[in-house]
Structure 1
């Protein structure tokens, strides 16, 4: 599936983004793009909150890795370092 994502260049952002989102959805990894990061866990956090945070963190890590893998290093170097996939995607769009 990852081979279907074109390498990002100066002219194909719309196509690249579309492919990235399709791949992440098919892999059930688009959670971090759809939902904001859950609130920080505390000692009184519920199991449901802990599961939601783990799901979001895994989705976020994998989404960032997949997006960065399809961006040439020269372009990646011009994008500020970001730890949230949704923000990273927004930065590329601008």
Structure 2
């Protein structure tokens, strides 16, 4: 099963970050992203940008990191209160 099919359920289990519960929020985010196999960008350093010289394996790793990063950021932003989210670019 694709990990994205359970995103709404998993994301709704993350408590909303309200400025008083960072530790609990962070733990939930890490667990949810890990269970959904979206924590690659948290575990691995960003790879160099794609070039014509990249192998198919390198391209796949870069694309996996980019997707993981994009999905992780969306999930984190979704679970942050509007008052805090407004301060994030």
Question: When the two structures are superposed, what TM-score results if normalisation uses the length of structure 1?
Answer: 0.81
- Equivalent residue number for residue 91 of structure 1: none
Deviations 1:30-74 (A, max 9, x none): 001111111111111111110001100110110000000011121
RMSD (CA atoms): 0.9
Question: When the two structures are superposed, what TM-score results if normalisation uses the length of structure 2?
Answer: 0.85
Distance 2:54 2:24 in 1: 40
- Equivalent residue number for residue 14 of structure 1: 23
Deviations 1:11-37 (A, max 9, x none): 100000000000000000000111111
- For structure 1, list consecutive stretches of 5 or more residues without a partner in the other structure: 82-94
- Equivalent residue number for residue 56 of structure 1: 65
Distance 2:82 2:19 in 1: 13
- Equivalent residue number for residue 82 of structure 2: 73
Aligned residues: 80
Distance 1:78 1:58 in 2: 24
